[in-house]
Structure 1
Amino acid sequence: MIAKAMAKEAGFRFINLQASTLTDKWYGESQKLAAAVFSLAIKIQPTIIFIDEVDSFLRSRASYDHEATAMMKAQFMSLWDGLITDPTCQVIVMGASNRPQDVDAAILRRMPSMFHIGMPDKDQRLCILDLILEKEYLSDDIDLTMIAEETSNYSGSDLRELCRNASVYRVKDYIKFNNPDTEHSMQEFDMLRPLMLADLQQAKIKMEESKQKRDGVPQTSIGLD
């Protein structure tokens, strides 16, 4: 998201490069695909080539690497050097990784600037929640400032997952109360109800329990109030 925002602000075109794009079962085709990516980027420049999880694609080279993989990495870095040596070229290569220690040292030398993206603070979490829920039908009991305070260990993706899980409870209620087998009037529930604080509380408890099971930590119930 940061890379896309930078491309938009700078007026650059954006190429989101997936590792699967450069893999092919035929020998030598991966190098041709890498060359095609750089050729396209140069033709439509100014361009940002973005590689997510760059450690999985350009991780440290080893003697046991497959020959085709090693050749693809070498071709990619050779083409990258061609961008650097051309003073008129406006193509930037960006990457993101949760494991920068696994990225090849030669790749890090070609990326002179590195930025650590930390967890959002309270004000940033509030802005993220405002953005996620700006078009949602919210109940009057929701206090986004309080939610931002109570989610101190949440990343932006965690907050999005929290809101997504909370919205599921609205859909479940809609299906439940529009079931012909129930005694509830369908006219009373002819649309999704507003998102309530209880939905976010329940979603947060569910996320915390999932995280604790994954990390092997004894479970505790955590609420927003």
Structure 2
Amino acid sequence: MLDDAGLQALREAARLSPDNLPLRRHLAEQLLAKGYLADAEAEFRAALVLAPKDADITAGLAEAFVRQSAYGAALSALEPFLASPGYPPRLGIIAARALLGEGETGKAAYRYYEAISRDPSVADPELAERLTVATTGLSSPPPPPAAAPPDSSEEEVERSKLTFADVAGMEAVKEALRVKLLLPIQQPELFAAYGKRAGGGVLLYGPPGSGKTHLARAAAGELGAAFVNVGLADILDMYVGSSERNLRATFDLARRNRPCVLFFDEVDALAARRSDMRQAHTRQLVNQFLAELDGVDQHANEGVLVLAATNAPWYIDVAFRRPGRFDQMVFVPPPDAAARAAILRILCRDKPLAEMDFDAVARATEHLVGADLKGVVDRAVEVKLQQSISAGRPIPMSTADLLAAAKGAKPTAVREWLATARNYVLHANESGAWDELMPWIKAKR
């Protein structure tokens, strides 16, 4: 109930003249300005029904979402505009706030500085300060090159807000990470008594989309450690010697911010078998990687927790599996029915819901991994948003909505990965490296 007489009068006027777009827009903006966020959201939605492609109304709706911490909804609303060049800079500022709320520091900084480079008047000093605090070693982060995409910015130290509570299922995997990576830092005296130091490496492997990156972020958040997410573009360079320097700089960054979780995604591209390489400089990159894992002395990597993820562990040079390197390999399986239900609960927890039967949806989504399930939820949300915009109010999502979205979902790559893994487990496992996979492969026959 509004306790502002002026807003009550505006709302009554809008009720009597529901197709008056300027009136509805003015009411929504006033509600937003005075902090009536849910009411503002509803009015912006109603205005969008009258003008679906209006950038200012979309900006208002996204702002209402951000101030309610519904960052994903804000980015979904902004996405059609952000995909087009020359979008209004104000939308970039709102997107930066939402991305920062999602923990995507690099992308948030890119959006912010790209926006103010086109229109300095939209600058937000408070947001700029938050971005400065969230990045490392930059008192005033420079704007990225106009042609560079958000992901090409240099490695940044993040502070993950995720913990293991945000990871559905996978208890055995989480326990392995606790023992190998987290407990040596959380209980250093106990581990020191047995000559164990904080640091080391774990290789996460499994089918695409099974949650390896999500697990790495959660491990950093569980520890309260810095998190450095390293992609191929951060390391690989066309000039001889540059890739090795980039790799050394990445480890140095992690060492300066210890305790730190250093995460290498698609590590098979950086740590491939040297016997398969034809060029000397690519073999040298592998040698550099091994040297950095070993450290210049026994304490060099203390407090640096190296996590790596791959879909193809069989292509990684065997030297990486020696003690002190990636000496522990952890299989991240596709989620079973109970884990799928838990993933769906987490994905839907910030959305308006009717009574839900997540177990029924889980049974209908066999072979889907976490990334696939997120796609199912996103499709259901898109349909519900269209219905809500037409109705002028949020309509709760139901079990039937998720089941309808799941009908068109297809597993990304689990079956193909399973076929490849079965070949290695059954025909190329003389060393016993894939014994952990054996029970799972047999169960899937």
State if a TM-score over 0.5 links the two structures.
yes
Q: Which residue of 1 aligns with 2:273?
A: 60
Q: Report the Cα distance in structure 2 between the residues aligned to 1:84 and 1:111, rounded to whole angstroms.
A: 18
How many Å apart are 1:194 and its aligned residue?
2.1
1:59-78 correspondence runs (5 A): 59-62=272-275, 64-78=277-291
Segments of structure 1 that go 5 or more residues without pairing to the other structure are 178-188, 216-225
Q: Report the Cα distance in structure 1 between the residues aligned to 2:245 and 2:274, rounded to whole angstroms.
A: 20
Q: Which residue of 1 aligns with 2:344?
A: 129
How many Å apart are 1:59 and its aligned residue?
1.6
How many Å apart are 1:68 and its aligned residue?
3.0
Q: Secondary structure at the match of 1:33?
A: helix
1:50/1:94 contact within 8 Å kept: yes
Query: How many equivalent residue pairs?
Result: 200
TM-score, with structure 1 as normaliser: 0.77
How many Å apart are 1:63 and its aligned residue?
5.7
Q: Report the Cα distance in structure 1 between the residues aligned to 2:294 and 2:241, rounded to whole angstroms.
A: 20
Q: Deviations over 1:131-164 (max 9, x none)?
A: 1101111234x32232223333222222211111
1:1-225 correspondence runs (5 A): 1-62=214-275, 64-82=277-295, 85-86=298-299, 89-109=302-322, 110-140=325-355, 142-174=356-388, 177=390, 189-208=391-410
1:83/1:91 contact within 8 Å kept: no
Which of these two proteins has the greater Rg computed from alpha carbons?
A: 2
Q: Report the Cα distance in structure 1 between the residues aligned to 2:357 and 2:347, rounded to whole angstroms.
A: 14
Segments of structure 2 that go 5 or more residues without pairing to the other structure are 1-213, 417-445
TM-score, with structure 2 as normaliser: 0.41
2:255/2:304 contact within 8 Å kept: yes
2:343/2:370 contact within 8 Å kept: yes
Cα 1:202–1:26 shift into 2, 3 Å: same
Cα 1:93–1:65 shift into 2, 3 Å: farther
Q: Which letter maps to 2:272?
A: R
Cα 1:198–1:105 shift into 2, 3 Å: same
Q: Report the Cα distance in structure 1 between the residues aligned to 2:412 and 2:386, rounded to whole angstroms.
A: 23
How many Å apart are 1:173 and its aligned residue?
3.6
Which protein, 1 or 2, shows the higher relative CO under an 8 Å CA cutoff with sep ≥ 6? 1
Q: Which letter maps to 1:205?
A: K
Q: Deviations over 1:98-125 (max 9, x none)?
A: 2111111112222111111122233322
Cα 1:211–1:78 shift into 2, 3 Å: closer
Higher helix share: 2
